[in-house]
Amino acid sequence: MDWIELIGIFVTALFIGALFFYGFSVRGPWGSFWAYLLVLIGGIWLISVISDPVGPVYWNIAWFDFLFVGLLFALILSAATPTRVDRKRYEEFYSRTERTPTEPAEPAVAVGIWFWLMLLLIVVAIVSASIA
């Protein structure tokens, strides 16, 4: 893997990430652009290390692989994005039912742990595929 391919990975991930995050308002399960971008970069990098280049080559980069994998990861992240809650229906539902006194903050911690674990597994897979 050359440096030009890494730049191509970053450019592709930035383009697709900005398109989905700002254009389609897909925030991903974490709600942060940087987390969304890290997952896209990791996914594109992993597949580019594992697979052989396919399609036309421009500046020594097979752009089709990067675009296809980036769009695939962006679509998977957009499917994992929680839906928006309509404020009126939300208030109607919670005005009719009793509220629980306290909700534990464990789901936010669990999402953070899964995010870092997933990034760690992606990096391990990239390193192991690069060595082999």
For residue 101, tell me if it sits in a domain.
Answer: no
For residue 52, tell me if it sits in a domain.
Answer: yes
Which two structure tokens, joined as six digits, stand for 110?
């669990």
User: pLDDT tens per residue, the chain (132 residues)?
Assistant: 688 888 889 999 999 999 988 888 877 777 788 888 988 998 898 888 888 777 788 888 788 888 888 898 888 888 776 666 656 666 666 666 555 555 555 555 455 777 778 878 888 888 888 886
In angstroms, how far is CA 91 from the centroid of its own chain?
31
For residue 100, tell me if it sits in a domain.
Answer: no
For residue 99, tell me if it sits in a domain.
Answer: no
Which two structure tokens, joined as six digits, stand for 92?
């109607």
**The CA-based dihedral angle spanning residues 104, 105, 106, 111, taken in that order and rounded to the nearest 10 degrees:** 150
Domain count, the chain: 1
Q: Which domain holds residue 30?
A: 3-94+106-131
- Enter the pTM of the model: 0.66
**Alpha-carbon distance 78 to 31, whole Å?**
11
